Amino acid sequence: MAQDILVVGELAEGALTPTSAELLGLATRLADGGKTNLVLLGSGATGQAAQAFAAGADRVLASDDAAYDQYRSDHWLAAVEATLDQASSAVVLIAQSMVGRDLGPRLAFRRGSAVATDCLRVEQTPEGLRATRSAYGGNAQATYSFNTSPAVVTVRAKSQDPIAPRAGASGETVALPNAGAARTEIVGREAAVSEGLQIQDAPIVVSGGRGLGAPEGFRVVEELAAAFGSDKAAVGSSRAACDLGWYPPSQQVGLTGKVVSPDLYVAVAISGASQHMAGCSGSKTIVAINRDREANIFKAARFGIVGDYKAVVPELIKAIKELL
Ligand SMILES: Cc1cc2nc3c(=O)[nH]c(=O)nc-3n(C[C@H](O)[C@H](O)[C@H](O)COP(=O)(O)OP(=O)(O)OC[C@H]3O[C@@H](n4cnc5c(N)ncnc54)[C@H](O)[C@@H]3O)c2cc1C
């Protein structure tokens, strides 16, 4: 069934974020011949229209007003509402980002509709739209349907595939009004200090847990990540290891840490508690190394090695170095 979809895009340093392209891919599949609209706000928005058309947008509604550069609920909400008034859409897709977490529920409330957050799967069925997210710390999946419109869905990064770029694609560009006076003032902004590849962006995440026995255990985990390549792999940690002070809290994976969905997640000496799995169950492939064959992590792992990490990981590093 053809339907129009609205994607709320985001810019990073003036460029369309990879997650926005993923949402455009999802929107194109859901639109089924309907229009894919994209709203883009902030410096350089209009300049990204060509990239957006290549990624699947049919119409880009944009404002280059720098007042949109930093997310403010009142500015963005008004702009997205104005977009919906011009480009009525049955479904609104927003990334499960800092923007989406705030904007999704606000928008649904303002339009008298409903929101499903942090979804991993969104599909059109004969009975209507279905949005699925993980629940109970990754131990179950919850599927939502909507009986109000527009259906607002926030979608987890890397859970959707972008379309193959449509070279030379073109579409319609519509100028949105500048942001008006803000009701909020941003008094400061502090970037978290974290060097190198971020665990949320890395295609490979190698994480260590309390079973490493000591902070020194993380050196071998870092060596394993380095063997994959420092441009590909980042190091994560379970909360137990962070709480012990063995690794920085910025690297914690899980319910109260970061959510990662890499192509490959290697869990070294991690038991696989539900709160940890909530942060990594969206990984494409999980490999577990644990000396307890009954460890919960093996239930989620595609490949498992039962053994002492001190013996297993150095062998793994050797094998990877030979292969790569
Ligand atoms: C509200 C709440 C929120 C939470 N949020 C998070 C979160 O965000 N992230 C998170 O990770 N946890 C979180 N937790 C904690 C979670 O419940 C677990 O306690 C934690 O994940 C356990 O960490 P672990 O697997 O490293 O340690 P353990 O559970 O102690 O497991 C260590 C594992 O290492 C194995 N092992 C031991 N020695 C070796 C060896 N030499 N070689 C190989 N394997 C070995 C053991 O067999 C065991 O399976 C949360 C808990 C609560 C209540």
Question: Are 28 and 140 in a shared domain?
Answer: yes
Q: Is 292 in the pocket of ligand 1 (CB under 6 A)?
A: yes
Question: Are 171 and 253 in a shared domain?
Answer: no
Report the atom number in ligand 1 closest to the C-alpha of 270: 25
Ligand 1: residue of 220, 271, 313 to mutate (most ligand atoms within 8 A of CB) is 271
Could you write out the three-class secondary structure of 38-60?
EEEECCCCHHHHHHHHHCCCCEE
Report the atom number in ligand 1 closest to the C-alpha of 297: 49
CA distance 4 to 214: 54
Q: Is the model more confident about 188 or about 216? A: 216
Domains held by the chain: number: 2
Mean pLDDT of 127-143: 87
Last residue of a domain, one of 175, 191, 213: 175
What sign does the dihedral 68-95-57-125 (CA atoms) show? Answer: negative
We report the CATH number of the domain holding residue 102 as 3.40.50.620
Give the pLDDT confidence score for residue 208 in this predicted structure.
Answer: 98
* Beta partners for residue 141, in sequence order: 134
Would the pLDDT of 185 be above 90? Answer: no
Q: Identify whether the C-beta of residue 62 lies closer than 8 Å to the C-beta of residue 53.
A: no
Mean pLDDT of 204-220: 98
Tokens of 160: 């959707």
Q: Is 291 in the pocket of ligand 1 (CB under 6 A)?
A: yes
Report the atom number in ligand 1 closest to the C-alpha of 257: 8
Question: Are 15 and 152 in a shared domain?
Answer: yes
Instruction: Residue 273: give the domain boundaries.
Output: 204-323
Question: Are 162 and 259 in a shared domain?
Answer: no
> Does a structural domain hold residue 195?
no
CA distance 230 to 233: 6
Mean pLDDT of 2-7: 96
Question: Are 297 and 163 in a shared domain?
Answer: no
Would the pLDDT of 221 be above 80? Answer: yes
Tokens of 131: 């949005």
pLDDT band at residue 158 under the 50/70/90 scheme:
confident
Give the pLDDT confidence score for residue 195 in this predicted structure.
Answer: 72
Give the pLDDT confidence score for residue 166 in this predicted structure.
Answer: 95
Give the pLDDT confidence score for residue 192 in this predicted structure.
Answer: 67
> Does a structural domain hold residue 197?
no
Question: Are 124 and 50 in a shared domain?
Answer: yes
What is the CB neighbour count within 10 angstroms for residue 274?
15
Q: Give the list of residues 6+ apart from residue 233 with CB closer than 8 angstroms, or none.
A: 197, 202, 203, 204, 205, 206, 224, 225, 226
Query: Using CA positions, which residue lies closest to atom 42 of ligand 1?
Result: 308
Query: How does the average pLDDT of the chain come out, rounded?
Result: 95
Q: What distances in angstroms separate CA 45 from CA 4, 16, 66, 76, one per listed residue?
A: 21, 8, 10, 14
pTM here is 0.74
Q: Is 72 in the pocket of ligand 1 (CB under 6 A)?
A: no
Tens digits of residue pLDDT in 93-119? 999 999 999 999 999 999 999 999 999
Task: Note the helical H segments in 115-194.
Answer: none
> Does a structural domain hold residue 199?
no
Last residue of a domain, one of 175, 193, 219: 175
> Does a structural domain hold residue 264?
yes
Q: Give the list of residues 6+ apart from residue 12 with CB closer than 8 angstroms, or none.
A: none
Which residue in the block uniquely carries the two structure tokens 């409330």?
109
